[in-house]
Amino acid sequence: MDAPIGSGNERLSTERKAAPADDEVRQNYFALYLKQGWEDIQTSTDDFDKNLLAVSSGALGVSVAFIKDVVPLATAVWLPALYISWAAFALCVLVTLTSFQLSIHAGKRQLDIAREYYIEKKTESLKKKNWATKAVKVSTIVSGVMFFIGLVCTLCFCEVNVHRRASIVQQSTKHDAAPGISVTVGPTTFVEQETATHKRRTGKGSAHPSNCGTSKSEPPNQKNP
């Protein structure tokens, strides 16, 4: 038997009612997921900026205060790398601090756009661009790059100079341990070497310490009659 026409219409109307209800549920879940995801992104960004600010400030302070204890600057090489690292850490701190203010401005601007769209019903507000949001993203990238440059330059400077200092100490130790080699080279040592060479050639040596107490001339032996 064929089903009544009325029952088919009721089924179609029920499906049509169920479809908007399902779409509304999906929209609500998406809104909750979007809110949670946005909060997680904001928290991660804030933590990254705070940690980057703390680490870069500490690295700059330690490098300026204690680098001379690790590598004497008077005899150090690759000094431009050290100066570049200081400049990079300083720029990282400045850019990070600026990003905090840009983030505040971006939030205020985004609230204005939301008010215009939802309250004032201005659909064209969705097309407005928030330049502060882009500036915050750029500043985050720039601060990260500056921190990386400062860290690499500091490590290169310390590695090169520590290795150079260790090589100098090692060569000096071998030089001191070699027999017949004088470490001090100067006019005094050269004169002493020339004097010693001249004495060896002429056969005149210095008086032996055991003969220092004897007189230069001795009376001839006299025989008793």
Output the tens digit of pLDDT for each of the chain's 225 residues. 444 545 555 554 555 555 567 777 887 887 788 788 888 888 888 899 999 999 999 999 999 888 888 888 888 899 999 999 999 999 999 999 999 999 999 889 988 888 888 888 888 887 888 898 899 999 999 999 999 999 999 999 999 998 988 888 888 887 765 554 444 444 444 445 555 665 666 665 444 444 444 444 445 555 444
List Cα–Cα distances, 172 to 33, 147, 159, 181, in angstroms.
68, 38, 20, 12
- Dihedrals φ, ψ of 211, to 5°? -100, 5
| Location of structure tokens 């499906």 | 15
Half-sphere exposure at residue 147, Cβ-oriented, CA atoms within 13 angstroms: 22
- Is there a domain that residue 204 lies in? no
- Is there a domain that residue 80 lies in? yes
DSSP state of 216: S
- Is there a domain that residue 106 lies in? yes
Spell out the residues 6+ positions from residue 91 whose beta carbon is closer than 8 angstroms to its own: 142, 143, 146
- Is there a domain that residue 213 lies in? no
Q: Which domain holds residue 136?
A: 46-175
- Is there a domain that residue 223 lies in? no
The number of domains in the chain is 1
- The model carries a pTM of 0.64
- Is there a domain that residue 5 lies in? no
| Location of structure tokens 């971006």 | 106
- Is there a domain that residue 61 lies in? yes
- Is there a domain that residue 191 lies in? no
